[in-house]
């Protein structure tokens, strides 16, 4: 092997090593900060005024998205057991054809949650947007986040790095092939989350007029 090729391979291996260390480091930092505040047991979730239900598509290729279904089930339990008075459904409404927030509200109302208890956040384009808008638009400095555990940890990390007293209520998760790609993408999402709160100072895409939750 020529010397030039040897250096090329050395740099490639070094790059992979540094990149891998960054991914692993961000993953465990998010977990260490947020893990103690995320609960699968409803009894451990403190009573709060509102919960932020994080959005995703209700269907995938025409079939029910079980991530969505399980989040709605968790949000219903949280409300029915009196842990929160209001549910802020925060999702992507980037076009007329794609509206996560409205789909969540419809599912919650169908499951028995009063429509007046559900508040729509159409600009939850990213998890960071959802948690920051919970304070800036809906006036909540302490709230419950509803999603799967891996997602809750990232959301609670983002919130607490910004001084918000967020806790997570973990919806049922998916294992096996159904959730594999989502869980793999989470490693990169955590790197982005760390960069957002350390180097980039990322802000929500949109803010807007305040919404009062009585």
Mean pLDDT of 185-192: 95
pLDDT of 8 > 90? The answer is no
**What residues make up the domain containing 131?**
3-200
Which residues have C-beta within 8 Å of that of residue 89, sequence separation ≥ 6? 53, 55, 100, 101, 104, 105, 108, 118, 119, 120, 121
For 126-183, the DSSP string reads SHHHHHHHHHHTT--SEEEEEEEHHHHHHHHHHHHHTT-EEEEEEEPP--THHHHHHH
Kindly state whether residue 209 falls inside one of the protein's structural domains.
no
Sole residue written with tokens 């007293």: 165
Tens digits of residue pLDDT in 77-113:
999 999 999 999 999 997 878 999 999 999 999 999 9
Kindly state whether residue 214 falls inside one of the protein's structural domains.
no
Q: What is the DSSP-derived secondary structure letter of residue 121?
A: E
Q: How confident is the model at residue 152 (pLDDT cuts 50, 70, 90)?
A: very high
Tens digits of residue pLDDT in 160-173:
999 999 999 999 99
Kindly state whether residue 70 falls inside one of the protein's structural domains.
yes
Mean pLDDT of 28-32: 97
Q: How confident is the model at residue 14 (pLDDT cuts 50, 70, 90)?
A: low
Tens digits of residue pLDDT in 31-82:
999 999 999 999 999 999 999 999 999 998 899 999 999 999 999 999 999 9
Kindly state whether residue 177 falls inside one of the protein's structural domains.
yes
Beta bridge partners of 92: 123
CB neighbour burial string for 94-109, b if at least 16 within 10 angstroms, e if fewer: eeeeebbbebbbbbbe
Range of lowest pLDDT (33-42, 142-151, 168-177, 205-214): 168-177
Kindly state whether residue 174 falls inside one of the protein's structural domains.
yes
Q: For the chain, how many structural domains are there in total?
A: 1
- Contact between 197 and 161 (Cβ < 8 Å): yes
Which residues have C-beta within 8 Å of that of residue 196, sequence separation ≥ 6? 128, 158, 202
Kindly state whether residue 208 falls inside one of the protein's structural domains.
no
Kindly state whether residue 212 falls inside one of the protein's structural domains.
no
Which residues have C-beta within 8 Å of that of residue 210, sequence separation ≥ 6? 137, 138, 139
Kindly state whether residue 113 falls inside one of the protein's structural domains.
yes
- Contact between 56 and 67 (Cβ < 8 Å): yes
Name which residue leads in pLDDT, 180 or 70.
70
pTM: 0.90
**Residue 129 maps to which CATH number?**
3.40.50.620
- Contact between 64 and 58 (Cβ < 8 Å): yes
């Amino acid at each position: 092997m020529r010397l030039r090729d040897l250096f090329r391979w050395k740099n490639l291996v070094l790059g992979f090593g540094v990149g891998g260390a960054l991914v692993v480091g961000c993953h465990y930092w998010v977990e260490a900060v947020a893990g103690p505040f995320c609960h699968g047991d409803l009894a451990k979730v403190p009573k709060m005024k509102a919960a932020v239900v994080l959005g995703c598509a209700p269907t995938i290729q025409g079939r029910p998205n079980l991530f969505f279904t399980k989040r709605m089930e968790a949000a219903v339990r949280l409300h029915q057991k009196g842990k929160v008075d209001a549910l802020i459904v925060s999702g992507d409404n980037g076009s007329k054809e794609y509206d996560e927030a409205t789909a969540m509200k419809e599912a919650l109302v169908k499951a028995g949650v009063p429509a007046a208890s559900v508040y729509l956040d159409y600009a939850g384009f990213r998890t960071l947007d959802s948690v920051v808008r919970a304070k800036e638009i809906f006036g909540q400095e302490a709230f419950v986040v509803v999603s799967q555990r891996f997602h809750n940890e990232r959301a609670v990390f983002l919130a607490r790095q910004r001084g918000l007293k967020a806790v997570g209520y973990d919806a049922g998760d998916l294992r096996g092939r159904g959730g594999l790609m989502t869980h793999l993408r989470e490693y990169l999402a955590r790197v982005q989350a760390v960069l957002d709160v350390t180097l980039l100072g990322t802000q929500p895409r949109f803010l807007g007029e305040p919404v009062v939750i009585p």
